[in-house]
Amino acid sequence: MDGPPPVPGDFNVADGAGVVVSGTLTYAGTQEGQLRVDFLATENDAPPRLLHIEKLDAVGPYSISTPPNTGPVALVAFIDIDNDGPSPKDPAGMVRINIEESSMDSVDISLSDTPDLGDLTPGDAAPPEAIDGAKGSASENPEIALPPSPATTASGPEAVDGTVEPALDEAPEPPVNPAPTNPTEPAEIGNSE
């Protein structure tokens, strides 16, 4: 069964042909909706790429024909409770496999109401380990520091040496009587007209 990897989104393989991936899907919860198995390419550090969607009637045994040499994939099974595609609130489960040239059986997936899909968690939700306060996660209520407004600081913030700096939106006033640029010339006072 030699052949190139599949074209993205194309698992048009006749039943019983190609490499058969089979196993059992289990779910002990009560959520209902369309049962779906997504095949996601997971090569190196590239973002996952959707290769195929298989819709099933119920949990239990399954069998799906895939092209040979598909390579490393994640099978993400989920119950689409709102018929809106994968979302963080859908019961789900996942297994990672490498599809080569031999059929694979016992590829079992257990679905959970609180799945841990890691970097394949759908939508904007963070993986469960990030929700539990993992180091480096962003605060949900970040503080935003704003510069003082002119209304609250008429003369501007105080500098480190105790002098008062002009406010950020005020231009410094030029000196009234600038010092002469040439010490031999008298300073100009007033208007010469």
Residue 89 belongs to a domain with what CATH number?
2.60.40.1120
> What's the pLDDT score for residue 136?
38
Position 153 in a domain: no
Taking CA atoms, 89 is separated from 84, 93, 116, 162, 166, in Å, by 11, 12, 12, 57, 53
Q: Judge contact between 190 and 181, C-beta under 8 A.
A: no
Which residues, in sequence order, are CB contacts of 138 under 8 Å at separation 6+?
none
- Domain that includes residue 81, residue range: 19-131
d(CA 24, CA 93): 12
Q: In this structure, what token pair is assigned to residue 131?
A: 């929700």
Query: What are the per-10-residue average pLDDT scores of the chain (193 residues)?
Result: 48 80 97 95 84 94 92 95 92 96 96 92 55 39 46 48 53 55 53 51
Beta bridge partners of 4: none
Report CA torsion sign: 103, 23, 60, 51.
Answer: negative
Residue 99 CA, distance from chain mean position: 27
Secondary structure of residue 129 in the 3-state scheme: helix
> What's the pLDDT score for residue 122?
80
Position 143 in a domain: no
Position 37 in a domain: yes
Position 170 in a domain: no
Position 158 in a domain: no
State the total domains in the chain: 1
Q: Judge contact between 148 and 157, C-beta under 8 A.
A: yes
d(CA 47, CA 59): 28
